Structures are given as structure tokens and as C-alpha cells.
Amino acid sequence: MNKKHFLAVDLGATSGRTILGTVADGKIEMKELTRFPNQILQIHNHFYWNIYSLYENIKGGLFAAKKEGVKISSIGIDTWGVDFALIGKDGSLMGAPYAYRDPHTFGKPEEFFNIIPREKVYDLTGIQVMNFNSLYQLFALAQAEASPLEAATEILFIPDALSYLLTGNKVVEYTIASTSQILNPRTKQFEANLMRAAGVKPSLLGEIVMPGHVIGQLTDDLAEETELGKVPVVAVAGHDTASAIAAIPAENEKFAYLSSGTWSLMGIEVKDPIINKESYDMNFTNEGGIEGTTRFLKNITGMWLLEQCLKEWKKEGITYAYEKLVEMSGTVTPFQFFIDPDHPSFANPASMVKAITEFCTSRGQKAPSTHAEFVRCIFESLAMKYNFVLGKLKDLAPFEIEKLHVIGGGSKNPLLNQWTANAIGLPVIAGPSEATAIGNIMIQAKAEGIVDSLQSMRAMIRQSISIDEYTPENNTEWVTAYEKFLSITK
């Protein structure tokens, strides 16, 4: 097979990067070209994304790709969800896009439910209610009579807006649109009634395209300036989690996944959305995947708990390498302390150490006293919470779940992966850690005709990466400890 080279632009809420992906002989290789910050701008008590800075940094990635001396077959962009840019009738951006952290959406879901009940909104969209969802952002802008919204003729979600800056062509990609709480996952179309209820014209949202759609080519000026020529830009799975899930090296559909990092996303991949009373009560969400699949998942607090503790200990002059954390945890008696990682007190406390201590003591437990005990408490509690959520997924899944695939940064945490296997009683398959970039690149490869299906994408990924498998151990002890976890966290 001739070598094919693809450029992935992977943007997170705090940083971005460009990655060169090379596909040849049934395998994929990656090379990071550039890395850059993505900072929220605070102006007059509002928070915005500096979309022009992102554009300039993407251009920097194009120049870096040119220096590699290879022909770039296509470019694809993935980002975080929900946020969008407003486009005027002359094609200009109507100001900087609002960031999801802007406080103008606080309380807006509850106000919106006075117009359309919460249960009806969930039934139409299958999306968990969060105040920063696109629906409530638009509702807030409409109520404020925001000039950019009043002047807008189109809405483009962030990856689509950046692709528009590169090509001059406008599309609305399915997976990123599915995060908005405006898309109906059954029809895969926008719900005009939700837009009208928010005080926004339904015509602002255009026709949806699926991952793999070729948006266009680099504009003439970019093609000349970067010397890359008229490279196609492909609508990959624009939502970064959708690209990551596409990179799971699964052999069949009978798996659950855990995208593990600061925050964790646990779910299953299904053909049809799951929208019922149980999914509503558990606040599960239905987001779009490639080939029309649905990512049925739940958000779980992840390594945020440990990261915040490490920050506090660093202020005390103490830092730990990961290997040391593992060694420390092994010296502690197991199952002494349990917390619910998703308890509101852990959302953004002034002191995570104090919040954990208070949670434990308020429930009749002894509190951790050493750093090693805090680490063990966090890891064991996460493993137990994963088991709890997986149990709900087993009840709702249309198939038997046989294993858990862990992707993202957490796939490199062997201790937590082993404890997760122990807690859930199923094998844990860890890797790839660079799932988002791999998924982005493989969707471009599919658009190029190198692979023809999600299954063949995953087969190539299995050939290209190393994965680790963890089998359950000490099952009886973990089952008993899980009952203790449930009784404490209720």
C-alpha cells in the first residue's frame, strides 16, 4: 500500500495540537507536529473562545506539515462539544464564540422547562441536561437580545466554524451537533420546536452531514501561503469523544467503554438511541457516533479528584511521580475509605483534601490521614463507581457486555485498570491513550477509501497499537467491598 498522510487537528478546552498520521501496510503511525494553548478570554464579565488564535495555530500546523516533506491527503478537526460561532449574511463571524463556562446560562434550563417540560426535552433529544448545552446558550442569548445572534443567519459548531475558515464552505457535522440538546437522535434532525421555544429561528441550523463528508479544499490563499496546495478538509467526528470512541480496538459490539482522564465517560455503542424512564432517571445521554451509531453514555468524575489533591500537596512542597503513587497505594490496607466521586462537594472545592475528609467523616467512616490513604481512597472509589454505572449499562444494553475498553490518558494507569477489572468482574482492555487523534485520522482514511467500515478501521487500529489486558482478581473481596461502597454512598 502506498503511504497516505493525514493531518489531525485535535482541540481541547485548554490546549490544542496538530498530528501527522501516516497509514501504510495496514497500520497507522502518528507524529505530533505542534502543540499550543487554548485560553478562554474574559471580557466584560463574559467568557469567549479566541477562534482567530485557534485559526492561526492551525495554520502553524499546516506550515509544520509542509516541512515534513510529504503530501497531505486531507485535514480533519475535532473539538469539545456544545459551543458554536454565529455567522452573518456576508459570511463574517459575529464576534468571538461564547465559551461554555460563561455564567449567562446559569438557571436557564429551569426557565426553559417552563416552556417545554424537562421530560419532553429529554424525550426529544436523549441528552442529559447541563446548563451549558447549546440549547440553553441560545436561549440565554435570545433573552438578552444579543446583537450577534440577532444579526446571524447561520450557526456553526466550533469544528465546523474552523473548517469554514479553512475552506469557505459551511456544514453542520452530526456528532458535534448531537451535543447541542437540539438534535433528535431518532430522526437525526434538529427539533425546530426547541429552537422556536428558545426564541431562535430554526433556519439558523443547516443541513447535517455525516463523518467522512468532504467539506471542501483549502482556500486559494491558504493553499498558496502554506504551499500545501488544495488539500481537502474532511468532516471527521467533530466531537472529540466521538473520534475517540471510533478508535476503540473492539472485535465486536459486546463491549462498554471508558474514556478516562480528568473526567470519565462510560458508555456503550448502539445502533439506536436508548431513551426511557430509566435512562432519564440515571441522566444518561445519547450522542452521535460514526456510521449513524449512538454513544449511550454517562459522565463520571475521573482523575480530577487526584489532580486537585496533588495540587495541594505540591503547594506543601511535595510532588509525586506516578510510580510512587502506585507504590504508596500498595502499602495501605484496602477498602477503608469510600467516597462518591460524583458528589457535588467534589465539583470544585477550595480544598479537595478537606472535601474528601468531610465526606468520609459525615458518613461514619474514618478519614484518610496520609497521602497514600487519599490515593487509595480515590482509586478504589473510582473503580466502585465504574462498577455502579456499568451495572446500569448492563440493565439497558441490548447485548451482553463482555469487556470494558479503557481509552485516553487513564489507559496508562495500570493500578486503576486492574482495580476496575476487579470491581466489575470483567476483563479490562487498555489503550490507545491517543484515541481521539487516531479516530480523527482513521475517519479521514475511510473518506480516502483506505478502509470501508468502522470494523475495518478498528481492525487496522488493533494491528497498529499495543494494548494491555487486565483480568479480574480477588472477586469475593471486591464484591463484599462494593456492598460497603453502596451503603456508604447510598
In tens, the pLDDT along 153-173 reads 999 999 999 999 999 999 999
Strands 255-260 and 403-407: parallel
Q: What is the pLDDT of residues 8-62, one digit of tens each?
A: 999 998 899 999 999 999 999 999 999 999 989 999 999 999 999 999 999 999 9
- Reading phi first (left if > 0) and then psi (alpha if -120 to 50, else beta), residue 24 is in beta
**Is the residue at 447 inside a domain?**
no
Q: Give me the CATH number covering residue 370.
A: 3.30.420.40
Q: Which of 238, 260, 276 is the last residue of a domain?
A: 238
Which class for 76: exposed (0-12), middle (13-18), buried (19 or more C-beta within 10 A)?
buried
Please state which of the ranges 167-176, 193-202, 319-328 shows the lowest mean pLDDT. Answer: 319-328
DSSP 93: B
pLDDT > 90: percent of the chain: 93
Short-list 300, 409, 314, CA closest to 353? 314
DSSP string for residues in 257-317: EEEESSEEEEEEEESS---SHHHHHTT-EEEE-GGG-EEEEEEEE-THHHHHHHHHHHHTT
Q: What is the pLDDT of residues 178-187, one digit of tens each?
A: 999 999 999 9
**Is the residue at 253 inside a domain?**
yes
Query: What counts of helices (H) and strands (E) characterise the chain?
Result: 19, 21
Do 278 and 401 lie in a common domain? yes
**Is the residue at 95 inside a domain?**
yes
Is there a contact between 108 and 101 (Cβ–Cβ < 8 Å)? no
Which class for 72: exposed (0-12), middle (13-18), buried (19 or more C-beta within 10 A)?
buried
Do 174 and 260 lie in a common domain? no
At 2, is the pLDDT very low, low, confident or very high (cuts 50, 70, 90)?
Answer: confident
At 305, is the pLDDT very low, low, confident or very high (cuts 50, 70, 90)?
Answer: very high
**Is the residue at 8 inside a domain?**
yes
**Is the residue at 225 inside a domain?**
yes
Q: How many structural domains are present in the chain? A: 2
Do 299 and 232 lie in a common domain? no
Q: Which of 197, 216, 238 is the last residue of a domain?
A: 238
Q: Which of 183, 207, 238 is the last residue of a domain?
A: 238
pLDDT value of residue 272: 96
Do 76 and 208 lie in a common domain? yes
Short-list 82, 142, 84, CA closest to 108? 142
pLDDT value of residue 38: 94
At 242, is the pLDDT very low, low, confident or very high (cuts 50, 70, 90)?
Answer: very high
Is there a contact between 392 and 418 (Cβ–Cβ < 8 Å)? no
Q: What is the mean pLDDT of residues 222-231?
A: 98
Q: What is the mean pLDDT of residues 236-253?
A: 97
Is 240 a residue of the active site?
yes
Do 270 and 229 lie in a common domain? no
Do 245 and 347 lie in a common domain? yes
Q: What is the pLDDT of residues 256-283, one digit of tens each?
A: 999 998 889 999 999 999 999 999 999 9
Is there a contact between 72 and 18 (Cβ–Cβ < 8 Å)? no
Q: Is residue 195's pLDDT more than 70?
A: yes
pLDDT value of residue 1: 57
Nine-digit cell string for 319: 510532588
Q: What is the mean pLDDT of residues 327-343?
A: 94
Whether omega for the bond prior to residue 432 falls within 30 degrees of 0, making it cis, is yes
Do 183 and 327 lie in a common domain? no
Do 181 and 257 lie in a common domain? no
Do 181 and 293 lie in a common domain? no
Q: Helix or strand or coil: residue 322?
A: helix
Is there a contact between 433 and 412 (Cβ–Cβ < 8 Å)? yes
Nine-digit cell string for 96: 468571538
**Distance between CA atoms of 19 and 9, rounded to whole angstroms?**
7
**Is the residue at 354 inside a domain?**
yes
Is there a contact between 126 and 178 (Cβ–Cβ < 8 Å)? no
Neighbouring C-alpha atoms within 13 Å toward the C-beta of 136? 26
**Is the residue at 457 inside a domain?**
no
Question: What pTM did the predictor assign?
Answer: 0.93
Do 266 and 171 lie in a common domain? no
* Domain coverage including residue 135: 4-238
* Catalytic-role residue among 10, 83, 240, 340: 240
Torsion sign, CA atoms 441, 447, 453, 456:
negative
Do 83 and 209 lie in a common domain? yes
**Is the residue at 315 inside a domain?**
yes
Do 174 and 269 lie in a common domain? no
Q: Is residue 175's pLDDT more than 60?
A: yes
Q: In the predicted model, what is the mean pLDDT of the chain? A: 96
